[in-house]
Amino acid sequence: MDIPQGPIMKRTKVSITREKLTRSYDPESPISFSDEHIGGIIQPHNDALVISVLVNKFRVKRVLIDLGSSANIIRWIVIEQLGLPDQIVPAVRVLNGFNVAYEMTKGEINLPINTAGTIQQTKLYVIEGDIGYNALFGRPWIHNMRVVPSTLHQTLKFLTLEGIKTVHGEQQAAKEMFAVEEAISAAKVPVLKDGKSNKGEDAK
């Protein structure tokens, strides 16, 4: 299973709150995006599409929508907080990234993913690593849901009998997830009154 590797955050928040599940359906109807959908979005931007979904009556935030991934992924710590470790089916898989890095799975789990009231039973691979998101939905979920995502508009849409459902991305969460952090600050070099560097000597 190929998944792209993004910058890894040192700290990842896992946030879940109780919600009520509802059910919708999936007919056919045209989906489109226009400039009116980018109102309120910080521009210009190059942000990934990050949303929240419901899993077993809990809201799971920081879910990355990734067309480049052939796997759906969820973090072990999220499964623990959902109280579902006993539902994990042991299955070791190697998830490869574009930079040849890899992650071993702890197993797989089938969960009812509720997106804007539409529930899709979804298989996710469970990993233990501290990545920048709580879950990643790749092409299997996107295609099964018949979702049309737009990173430009920070929105995804899909069809139901009730009409087109729209889910807005959480742009600020995306910015926090993939922010570039300075790992090592530049060493401070003492400067003498004449402005010359005093590197290698004691400052007076």
**Domain boundaries of the chain, sorted by first residue:** 37-177
Q: What is the mean pLDDT of residues 186-203?
A: 44
Q: Assign 42 a pLDDT band (cuts: 50, 70, 90).
A: low
Sort strands 107-115 and 155-160 into parallel, antiparallel or unpaired.
Answer: unpaired
pLDDT, tens digit (0-9, with 9 covering 90-100), for 98-123: 455 677 889 999 999 999 999 999 99
Q: Which of 53, 54, 59 is nearest to 17 (CA)?
A: 59
pLDDT score recorded for residue 74: 96
Cis ω on the peptide bond leading into residue 7 (within 30° of 0)? no
CATH number of 37-177: 2.40.70.10
Looking at beta carbons, which pairs linking 144-148 to residues 24 or more positions away fall under 8 Å? Answer: 144/120, 145/26, 145/115, 145/118, 145/120, 146/26, 147/65, 148/31
Q: Assign 32 a pLDDT band (cuts: 50, 70, 90).
A: low
Q: What is the mean pLDDT of residues 80-98?
A: 85
DSSP 120-154: EEEEEEEE-S--SSSEEE-HHHHHHHT-EEETTTT
pLDDT, tens digit (0-9, with 9 covering 90-100), for 47-87: 889 999 999 889 999 999 999 899 999 999 999 999 999 99
Specify the amino acid at residue 202.
D
On the 0-12 / 13-18 / 19+ scale of CB atoms within 10 A, 121 is exposed
Report the chain's mean pLDDT, rounded to a whole number.
Answer: 75
pLDDT score recorded for residue 125: 95
Q: What is the mean pLDDT of residues 151-157?
A: 88
